[in-house]
Each structure stands twice: as structure tokens, then as C-alpha cells.
Amino acid sequence: MGFGMKRFVEGENRFQSTLFPEVLDDYISDENDVKVIETFIDELNLSGLGFHDVEPQATGRSSYHPATLLKIYIGYQTSSVLASHFLRSQSREISGSESL
């Protein structure tokens, strides 16, 4: 393949050694939703589900792999839903009203 462009933009390896903690993955607790999302997406057959460009094109700028984008999207949606529930509950506590 030579010195050509990479086919997909790749994120940093979470298992890369650092000074503190030993690996970047140590920052993420085992209970964190991101680990569930990553495991789930990694097990999917994205091309079988109709995702296009799962196999990279030979030309053009490198793009993000569809699995990476799906992980980001689901993670964002999950955190947004949790954040909106939190804000609603806090608003109820402050106002003392259940009508929010």
C-alpha cells in the first residue's frame, strides 16, 4: 500500500501507555455507558444493516469509520436524554411543581 493516505481517520488508542494512569482506558469506569455502546456497535454488521461506505474508498480525504460515528451519535443521544431528565428533576425540585 505504500505511503498513501489512511483509509479512515483513526482515534487514539485507549490502551496506549501514558504516565498517569497506566493506560487511557483506565479513565473510563467499567460501569460507564460508553463501554456498553462500544461493545454493542463493534458486534454489529454495519454493511448488513444498510450502512454505506463501511469499506473505505481508495481516493479522497480520509473519513471517519461509520462505526465510530455511530458510537459518537448514540453516546451523545444517551447523554442528552440523561441530561434532560436530570434538568427536569432539578427544575421540579427548585419550583416545587410536578407540572414541568
SS3 state at 80 = helix
pLDDT bracket for residue 1 (50, 70, 90): very low
Say what the pTM is. 0.52
Q: What is the distance between the alpha carbons of residues 11 and 55, in angstroms, rounded to a whole number?
A: 17
pLDDT in tens, 4-36: 556 777 777 777 666 666 777 777 888 888 888
Q: Of 63, 64, 86, 70, which is closest to residue 34 (Cα–Cα)?
A: 70
